[in-house]
Amino acid sequence: MPPTPAPPSEIEGVPFDHYIEEVLAWASEAGNHILTLADAAYPQTLLTMPDPPALLYAKGRLELLQKRAVAIVGSQHATPQGLEDARRFARALSDAGLAVISGLALSIDASAHRGALEGATGTVCVIGTGADLVYPAAHHTLAHEIARDGAIISEWPLGTPARSANFPQRNRLIAGLSGGVLIVEAAMRSGLLITARLANEMGRDVFALPGSIHAPLSQGCHRLIKQGAKLVETPEEVLEEFGFPPARDAAATAKRLKLQPAAASWASAHLPEPIGTDDTARVLTALGHAPATLEILAARTELDVAGRFRARCCRSNWRGAWSRCLAAASRRSSAHDAASCYIREKMSHPCCRKQGSRTRHVRAESRYRCRPHR
């Protein structure tokens, strides 16, 4: 029998003996757990992957680690439509009985966690830091909610900060915990393609949402589909692959009613997301790469877009101008072309082309309108 290796002198800059004391103190707190390969609560799906982690630090509901699960991941710079899709799919899959796995990253991951928390089952968050840290810092409140109503796991020692080398390993655990991985949005060279490859090598299903051929964040998904990933358009298609019936609305509604706002104890460092003040930028961001109706833009931006356009545009000549601009956005590589298209149409208005007319265009609070000189 080979000799037992000596323990390290320190872990994350902490002497080994002191680190053991810190771990035992952390594990004694309510909701915190340390899992080994011999524990019954250790995720059984991880035992089917090559070289599973020998030790897991976990917070929250351990029973979620034994449930069938689907991972939802995507770009950290997702479009508004991508965020809505991730949340909608996660909520529907959670309502149907699947746990939703993701990595607490910005954008798609966060939307997937929130959607799953709104559903009946819950979510499991796999992080690339120590279980006593939250990265990114803006997700402290979300992490607190997951620790209360879902589960957080990490294979990294307590106190491990965010390092770029840790996240490919985190993605490996995301793929291993799930029965399938759903890619919502990904660029052509996204690291998410590596996650999809790892899932495929482990025998997990890979799903991808299609998008506009002009959208850069759809190119990675289209590439996966060409390579054999399953194209899905609705949550029901994913549930069909897992053999699950559609979600039961009554149980889902009851679960949502039980959700309470998160306390600020563990999440005291919550950083509120900045709210833009430029209406034009908000509309362009909400537009993304695909056409959208005024009603959808109003819902995404919380602006009365339709009312403003009806009140400030000449009905006889401007009807359909914005819709033409939105159609132009779908034919071009950038949504900002819609804005320039809109401005060109405004400048071609008869009241502005008329010789000798004392009119001018003014920009007030990022909204364009025609009015006479005072």
* Strand 10-11, strand 32-36: pairing: unpaired
Q: Are residues 228 and 316 in the same domain?
A: no
Q: Are residues 74 and 149 in the same domain?
A: yes
Window from 54-58, 166-170, 242-246 with minimum mean pLDDT: 242-246
Are residues 57 and 158 in contact, defined by beta-carbon separation less than 8 angstroms?
yes
Q: Are residues 302 and 186 in the same domain?
A: no
pLDDT, tens digit (0-9, with 9 covering 90-100), for 60-99? 999 999 999 999 999 999 999 999 999 999 999 999 999 9
Q: Sign (positive/negative) of CA torsion 311, 312, 314, 317? A: negative
Residue 352 in domain: yes
CATH code (residue 105)? 3.40.50.450
Percent of the chain past pLDDT 70, that is, above it, reads 69
Residue 242 in domain: yes
Q: Are residues 235 and 352 in the same domain?
A: no
Q: Which of 214, 229, 258 is the last residue of a domain?
A: 258
pLDDT, tens digit (0-9, with 9 covering 90-100), for 313-370? 544 454 455 455 555 544 444 444 544 454 455 445 444 444 443 434 333 333 334 3
Window from 182-186, 245-249, 289-293 with minimum mean pLDDT: 245-249
CA distances from 188 to 165, 185, 191, 215 (A): 21, 10, 9, 11
Q: Are residues 289 and 194 in the same domain?
A: no
Q: Are residues 199 and 330 in the same domain?
A: no
Whole domain around residue 102: which residue ranges?
Answer: 10-258
Q: Are residues 68 and 195 in the same domain?
A: yes
Q: Are residues 92 and 167 in the same domain?
A: yes
Q: Are residues 227 and 315 in the same domain?
A: no
pLDDT of 316 reads 43
Mean pLDDT, all residues of the chain: 78
- Asked whether the predicted pLDDT for residue 264 surpasses 80, the reply is no
Window from 76-80, 224-228, 272-276, 306-310 with minimum mean pLDDT: 272-276
Higher pLDDT, 269 or 100: 100
Quote the longest CA-to-CA distance of the chain: 99
Residue 233 burial (C-beta neighbours within 10 Å; 0-12, 13-18, 19+): exposed
pLDDT of 28 reads 92
CA distances from 200 to 17, 166, 194, 271, 278 (A): 41, 21, 10, 37, 44
Tokens of 227: 């390579």
Confidence band, pLDDT 50/70/90 cuts, at residue 233: very high
The mean pLDDT of 243-267, rounded to a whole number, is 53
